[in-house]
Chain A
Amino acid sequence: MNEARERILINLRQSVDPILRIFGHRSLPPPSLGFALDVSGSQPVQKSPITYGSVREMIDDFSIVFGVPKYRTSKPKKVTRKFSFTRLLQPLDNLVTCPTCSNIHPSDTICDSCYAKVHKLTSEIKKKMMQYNPYVGEKQDKEVYVKFKGEPKAPAEVVNGKRVLEMEDERPTWFKKLTLKK
């Protein structure tokens, strides 16, 4: 016990001394701090650096220096922090199952896993559709007819002046062919 107290004092002195030295007391010998708890001025200052056995020990040593709460946090504040309405999880009661792929999604939306494949094919077709340069006078002035790989050539009355986009892939089974009218 006594030993620990001594070590604290030595630590303190070691940390205070350089500050004092900076403030112009370099020529004078370091003055002894007149602590009431000072054990004895006769003891020589230890030169060797203090080593801590563990981190815990170091923290215990320095705990008086750290910022700590000054006041106790009240109960309502703690409870609000933990369980306020922003932290609560609400149950979703509008979930439905997609009849096509059995994916679960909110009832006011479309199924996103079904839409993913639609999105993929859409962007492929769109990529083909956007292959025109408006800066040289090319325009999207025709309807678009999408022809997949391996499909027979559409009759003239179906194409009917439309712009034919030829896809590299085959027609997916879920994308039904449109009725060949007109």
Chain B
Amino acid sequence: MFRPAAREVVRIPSRFFSCKSEPVRAATSKKQATKEEIAGLIPAFPEIYPDFLQSPVWNRRNALKEELERQDMLERRMNIDIPEFYVGSIVAVTSSDKNLGSKDHRFVGICIRREKEGLLHQFTLRNTIENIGVEVLYDLYNPTIKKIETLKLEKRLDSDLGYLVDALPEYSTFDFHMEPQAHPAGTPIPVNELKVKLKNPPWTRRWEISSCRGIEDTWTQATPWYKRKLHKTLVNDYEKYDLIANYRTSSTKEHEIYVQAQMQKFEKERHAAGLTRRRILKSAASYK
């Protein structure tokens, strides 16, 4: 006998939503990164490896370019030991120079800036030589660099020490024959809370309105001209509350996890091949 199913199940075609913010049903997506996944990873990754981050400009983020550059960077890191250093650390760089008699040039200085992502990553060292301030900008992946040493591993209060140009010379004077100071593994990186005294104006920038924490009392030293000008100055101190402006320029946790996993895999492959024992992904603070 014919037995029709009452109220037969008929699939309704799902409606097409063209609006970009198509609503997603609640509580569908579970957290991706579980604790096991995070186990071998470094929490301070963006600070130690700023060269592995994505570009702060969204339009320049190109997955293929990043991938190719990352391969080159990892290869380079297998050939040269690039130690961990921060802005504020004292670093010595030995680079080859064919015009010198010894063919080697060693420069010691405080790292005042780290900028750009990928293969173009740069860092600047500053020192005072014969009472003249000298800043040398190095490309991290420049093949003429022979050796990079961290003589003193520490941080400062700011992520850009550009104000050392206008500071008294003793704050950027370091001995070229300085003994490297070992950092005890597994301890957090010390933060040098030194407040720098500036020279008298004129300055290269208006330090009295900058938000640098590492400068001591800029207001009394500032000239009356700029003090009077302050009320005309556009103060953008509220910009730090713009959460999405930060999001647009910063890297995401997913990216960091992906890159670290890639680095671990690369290391493991090279170790298994017996080519090297060098480790790429390491952190003094989270060393076990």
Q: Enumerate chain A interface residues (CB-CB to B < 8 A).
A: 94, 96, 99, 107-109
Contact = CB atoms under 8 A, between A and B. Distances in A.
A96 B14 CA distance: 11
A46 to B, nearest CB: 76
Interface of B: 12, 15-19
B12 A107 contact: no
Nearest to B19: A108
The interface centre, meaning the residue of B15, B17, B18, B19 with most chain A CB atoms within 10 A of its CB, is B15
9 contacts: A96-B15, A96-B16, A99-B15, A107-B16, A107-B17, A107-B18, A108-B17, A108-B18, A109-B19
Contacts of B17: 107-108
A107 B16 CA distance: 6
The main secondary structure of chain A at its interface with chain B is loop
B18 A99 contact: no
Contacts of A109: 19
A19 B18 CA distance: 71
Contacts of A108: 17-19
A179 to B, nearest CB: 13
A27 to B, nearest CB: 70
Contacts of B18: 94, 107-108
A109 B18 CA distance: 9
The interface centre, meaning the residue of A94, A108, A109 with most chain B CB atoms within 10 A of its CB, is A108
B26 to A, nearest CB: 12
Nearest to A110: B23
Contacts of A96: 15-16
B211 to A, nearest CB: 33
A108 B12 CA distance: 17
A107 B14 CA distance: 11
A96 B16 CA distance: 9
B9 to A, nearest CB: 14
A107 B15 CA distance: 7
B16 A99 contact: no
Contacts of B19: 108-109
A83 B226 CA distance: 60
A45 to B, nearest CB: 75
B242 to A, nearest CB: 27
Contacts of B16: 96, 107
A96 B15 CA distance: 8
A108 B16 CA distance: 7
A50 B229 CA distance: 76
B12 to A, nearest CB: 6
B72 to A, nearest CB: 44
